[in-house]
Amino acid sequence: MRILVIDDEPRILGFLARGLAAEGYTVDAADNGVDALRAARRNGYDLVLLDLLLPGIDGLSVLQALGHAHPELPVVIVSARTDLPTKLRGFGLGATDYLSKPFSVDELLARIRVQLRKTHGEHNHLVRAGTISLDLARREVRVGDEVVQLTDREFRVLHQLVEHAGEVLSRERLLSEVWGYHFDPGSNVVDVCIRRLRKKLGAEAPIETVRHVGYRLTEA
């Protein structure tokens, strides 16, 4: 699931991006309306978190533009503006939820899950390949009938492999999707994570190494 976070406060933007990434979401961030709308045109998002107090194009104008271009895209307003007229204006322009600052991270995550369930349906919380099934809502992994305990990073790497089973995923892609690196830092964190996954998942979940390229999960 890919989320666009729009907020002009660097501290909040970084906090939200890190928190959502830790929950397994792919996160893009924008600190102004122009960059936000450009990102929305360029990428496909499952949900948007939108602050209203933005430089240049204000949040309500961004919301209106998103509604015209992507009418099915859920937008959760996260704002310090708590007056009723602003809330009603936001809902009138297509916001699907409104959360006032300061907010609880747990409440925000719960609201995000509700919006994604409405948009994608419960079945999309289950991802399967061969004997492996991932429940994205419960963060639970099963190999056959056995529950396997994984760390957050391991879960997110496995999610990528299962979602793209049969495809070769490069180390660079996994670094970008899971660690948020858009470059190779020269470390072996991906290889170490894959070794741990192989040990925990066992032979029923074979992860192949494609030399000089990356890794592939076979469905056999």
Predicted confidence (pLDDT) at residue 211 exceeds the cutoff of 60: yes
* Verdict on whether the full-model pTM lies above 0.75: no
Residues 90-144: tens digit of each pLDDT: 999 999 999 999 998 889 999 998 888 777 654 457 888 888 989 887 788 998 8
Nearest CA among 187, 136, 185, 176 for reference residue 27:
176
For residues 111 and 6, membership in a common domain is answered with yes
For residues 99 and 15, membership in a common domain is answered with yes
Residues 31-40: tens digit of each pLDDT: 999 999 999 9
For residue 189, what is the enclosing H or E element?
helix 189-201
Domain that holds residue 138: 124-217
Coil, strand or helix at 216: strand
For residues 155 and 203, membership in a common domain is answered with yes
pLDDT of residue 177: 83
For residues 27 and 112, membership in a common domain is answered with yes
Under the banding of pLDDT at 50, 70 and 90, the label for residue 183 is low
pLDDT of residue 123: 47
